[in-house]
Amino acid sequence: MTDRTILEQEIAAEQRHLDLVYARLEQLRRSAVRAERDGYRLARVGNFGALVERDAMVFHAARRRHLLDAEHEGLVFGRLDLRDSSVLHVGRLGVRGERAEPLVVDWRAPAAAAFYRATAADPQGVVRRRMISSAGERVTRIEDDLLDPEAAPPDLRVVGDGALLANLSRTTGTGMRDIVATIQREQDEAIRSPASGVTLVSGGPGTGKTAVALHRAAYLLYSDRSRFAGGGVLVVGPSGVFVNYISAVLPSLGEDAATLHSLGSLVVGLTATRTEPVPVATVKGSLRMRRVLERAARDAVPGGPRELRLLYRGQLLRLGPAELDRIRERALPRGARRNEVRRAGIDGLFEALWAQALELRIGNLPEQREFEDELAERTDFRDFIRAWWPRLHPRHVLAWLADPLRLRGYAAGVLSAAEIELLIESYRPLRDEGPSIPDVALLDELDELMGRPPRPARRRRDPFLVAGGVREVSTYADRERAARAEAVRRDEDYREYAHVVVDEAQDVSPMQWRMLGRRGRLASWTVVGDPAQTAWTGDPAELARARDRALGRLPRHEFTLSTNYRNSAEIFAVAAGVIRELDPDLPLPRAVRSTGVPPTERTARPAELPAVTAEAAGKLLAEVEGTVGVITPVPRRDEVRGWLGDLVGPRLQVVDALQAKGMEYDGVVLVAPGQIRADSPAGIRTLYVALSRATQRLTVIDTAS
C-alpha cells in the first residue's frame, strides 16, 4: 500500500469522526433552538414559577446556541492515541455524544494537556499525536508524531513529517496564525502556570512568546471565569499594527472577554501611532520626566490673566502677578492634584480680596461670607476664575511642553541640555500630528498628577425604556441579563483588571510601566519579552525598579523558551550573526526547521532602490502563498510604501523596524539595513528583530555607498 493511499485512508477516517461531531453539533443546536421556543410556550401556564422557568430556559439555550455557532469553523484540530488504546480528539469546544461519550475535548481541559506537553522523551501515555487541519467541515491534512514507538500496535499508521514542523512550514495568513495546536511542552507549562502572581516568560525570536501570552489569557478565562471575566483581562502589545495582527486569536481560542490595547491606546480617546527616534523615546520614557511634568502641572496657564482687578463699592481691589502666583502655589502643594483643589485656589482669592477690602476700610463692608457670595455672583469674577484656574485636560499641559521657553524651565536641573534640545525638536509636530506613542505614558502621568474634577452622580439608564418614556415588555431573564451587564459595565478608563498581559515587555519604558501599573493594582500578570530585542537605551536599574513597582510583591514564576519555531535555520543564522556582534556568548534559541533556501542579499544605488525594492516584493508575493512584510528604517516607511503602489494590500504590508516587533511574515523584504543599524544606539538590536520576522523567505536590500 502506497504512502498516498495510507494518507487518504487516514484522512477519510478523521473525516468520518468530524462528520459525527458536526452532526452532533447540529443536534445540539436544534435542541438549543427548541429549548428557546419551548421556554416561551411556558408563558401560557400563567403562574410565576413557570415564568421564571421559562426565562431561565431561554437565557441558557440562547447562550449555548451562540457558543455552538461561534466555534463551528475548525472545531477539531488534534487527536491523541493513548497507551490504554483510548482515543481523544482535541478542539476548541468540548462536545459529548448522545451517551455522554466525549467526541471532542476542550483544549483548555486537563485531559487535553498531553496534546501540548507530551514529547518523545516523556510521552505521558501518548502513543501518537495527530494534528488535523480542516477547511469548513472537510479534513484537508493530517500530520503525526509517533511519541512512544514501543507501545504502538502493529496496525498503527503514522503519516506526515512531524506535526509541528509541518504546521510551521505553512503560510501564516494576514493575521496571526491559528496557533492552538502548535503549543509545545515548554510553552504549555507557562500557559498553565499558577493563576496568581506574575508569570515571566522570556525567549528569543520565534519561540512563541505571544502564543503563550494569548493562550494564557484564554486558559485563565476558562479555568476561573468568574474571577477573570468579572475583573477583566487586559492584553497590551507594542503597537496598533501588532494588536490588529493578534486581534483574531483570542476569539479563535474560544474567548472574546479580553480587552486588547497597544501602548499608544491605553489613554481614553487617544490612539497614538507615531513612533519616536530611540534617543527621544529614551528621554520621554525616563522617570525623570515625572519631575518635569510635576513642574508643568503646577505652572500658571499660558496666556492666563496676570492680574485681577475688581471695582467693589467704589474701591479698586487688585491682585498682581506675584500675589496670584503665591495663591496658586499655596493651593497647590506638592502632591496636590490641580483639578481637584480648584476650590482651594478660589478660596485663596477670596481671602486675599477680603484682607484687601479690610485694609482699604471700604464702607458698609458686609460679613466675609456675604462678601464672597457677592463676588461669586459677578460675571467678571467668574470669567477671571475660568481663565486663571481652568479645568485642564492632560493634553493641554502636554502642549505647554511645545513652548521651548517653558520646557527649558520645567526641565532645568532635571534633564541635560542635549536632552532638552531633543525634546524641543520632538514637540514641534505636536500641534499638527498629535502625541506620539511615548507621549501617551506622559499624558497618563499628567492625568495622575492633575486629577479630575468631581462629577455629578450619573443616573442609571433603564435599558428597557423606549420612546415616550414607555417601558417595554421584558422577561425575567432579560432583566437578569441586563442587571449582570450593568454590574460588569466598566468606565472607559477602567483600572481594576484581574489580569494584565504585557507582550514585547523588553520595550516598555519606566514611564510606560507606571501607566501599566495603574491598571494592574489588583491584577496578576503575564509578562513576555526578550532582552536581546530591547530598544531601551536608558538606565537599566531605573527600568528594573519601575517594572518591579508595577508588578508589586507578587510571587514570580519564570519560564524560558528555547526553540525557535518561526524562522528557518538559514534565516535565523543571519539574524544571530548580527546580535552576536553585541554579545558573542548570548544564549539564543535553536531554529528547528530548514528550508534549504538561504536569504537573498542585494545591493542597490540610491536611485535604483525604489525599483529594486518593488521587484523584490513582487517576486516574494509570487514565491510564497501567505504574507509579505516590507520592513524599513523608521523615518522611511511612508517613502517606501509609495514605491510599492498597488502591491500594498491584504498580502503585503509595509512597516518600520519598530512596528515589526512581534510580527511574522512568510516573506520579508528588508530595506536599508545599514540605516536601521545606524539610526540609534539600539540599532543593532532593532536590526536583529527585523531580520527574524520571516518564516520562509528573506531578501535584504542594502544601499551602495
Distances (CA, A) of 34 to 20, 68, 99, 209, 480: 21, 14, 20, 44, 22
> Regarding predicted confidence, which is higher, 572 or 192?
572
- Residue 487: its pLDDT value, please? 43
Contact 519, 497 (CB under 8 A): yes
More confident: 324 or 452: 324
Residue 68 above 80 pLDDT?
no
- Give the range with max mean pLDDT: 226-230, 638-642, 681-685: 638-642
For residue 155, give the C-alpha cell: 496496525
Q: Which amino acid type is present at position 447?
A: D
Please state the rounded mean pLDDT for residues 595-620: 95
Q: Per-residue pLDDT tens for 1-29? A: 677 788 889 999 999 999 998 888 888 87
**232 close to 259: Cβ distance less than 8 angstroms:** yes
pLDDT over 90 (residue 73): no
Choice between 595 and 242, residue whose per-residue pLDDT is larger: 595
Between CA 564 and CA 9 the distance in angstroms is 33
pLDDT grade for 173, boundaries at 50, 70 and 90: low
Weakest-pLDDT range from 66-75, 99-108, 435-444, 465-474: 465-474
Instruction: Assign 364 a pLDDT band (cuts: 50, 70, 90).
Output: confident
Question: Would you state the pLDDT for residue 221?
Answer: 83
Would the CA dihedral through 163, 168, 169, 173 be positive or negative?
positive
Give bridge partners of residue 198 from the DSSP assignment: 525, 556
Are 535 and 505 in contact by the 8 Å Cβ rule? The answer is no
- Structure confidence at residue 170 (pLDDT): 57
3-class secondary structure, 261: strand
Domain ranges of the chain: 3-168, 181-267+493-561, 278-298+395-450, 308-391, 590-703
Residue 70's pLDDT is 46
For 576-594, the pLDDT digits (tens) are: 999 999 999 999 999 988 8
The edge-to-edge listing of strands for the beta sheet with 233-237 is 258-262, 233-237, 499-502, 524-529, 198-203, 556-561
Q: What is the mean pLDDT of the chain?
A: 85
d(C-alpha 655, C-alpha 637), whole Å:
6
pLDDT at 163 over 60: no
- Give residue 401's pLDDT: 96
The reported pLDDT for the residue numbered 277 is 87
Nearest-CA neighbor of 242 among 61, 445, 505?
505
Q: Is the pLDDT of residue 229 over 90?
A: no
| pLDDT(648) > 60 | yes
Dist. CA 548–CA 541, nearest whole Å: 11
Does pLDDT of 43 surpass 70? no
Average pLDDT over residues 56-74: 50
- 590-703 carries CATH number 3.40.50.300: yes
Other beta carbons less than 10 A from residue 116's beta carbon: 23
At 705, the pLDDT band (50, 70, 90 cuts) reads low
Across the range 367-373, mean pLDDT stands at 95
pLDDT at 250: 62
Check for a shared fold between 181-267+493-561 and 590-703.
yes
Kindly list the distances between the CA atom of residue 371 and the CA atoms of 3, 323, 350, 356, 383, in Å, as whole numbers in the listed order.
Answer: 99, 20, 9, 12, 18
Helix (H) or strand (E) holding 492: none
More confident residue, 629 or 221: 629
pLDDT at residue 213 greater than cutoff 70: yes
Burial class (CB in 10 A: 0-12, 13-18, 19+), 224: middle
Locate cell 495546536: which residue?
Answer: 181
Which segment of 95-109, 242-256, 319-333, 620-634 scores lowest on mean pLDDT?
242-256
CA distances from 429 to 269, 272, 425, 437, 651 (A): 20, 13, 8, 13, 32
pLDDT of res. 252: 58
Above 90 in pLDDT, residue 681?
no
Can you give the pLDDT at residue 42? 52
Question: DSSP label at 132?
Answer: E
Say whether pLDDT at 316 is over 70.
yes
pLDDT number for residue 51: 45
Predicted confidence (pLDDT) at residue 489 exceeds the cutoff of 70: no
**pLDDT value for 135:** 83
- How would you classify the pairing of strands 524-529 and 198-203? parallel
Share of the chain above pLDDT 70, in %: 84
Q: Are strands 563-568 and 590-593 parallel, antiparallel or unpaired?
A: parallel
Q: Which of 115-129, 427-441, 467-481 is predicted least confidently?
A: 467-481
Domain 181-267+493-561 fold is Rossmann fold (3.40.50)
Rounded to the nearest 10 degrees, the angle between the axes of helix 476-488 and helix 48-70 is 60
Mean pLDDT of 478-503: 70
Q: Which residue has the higher pLDDT, 639 or 565?
A: 639
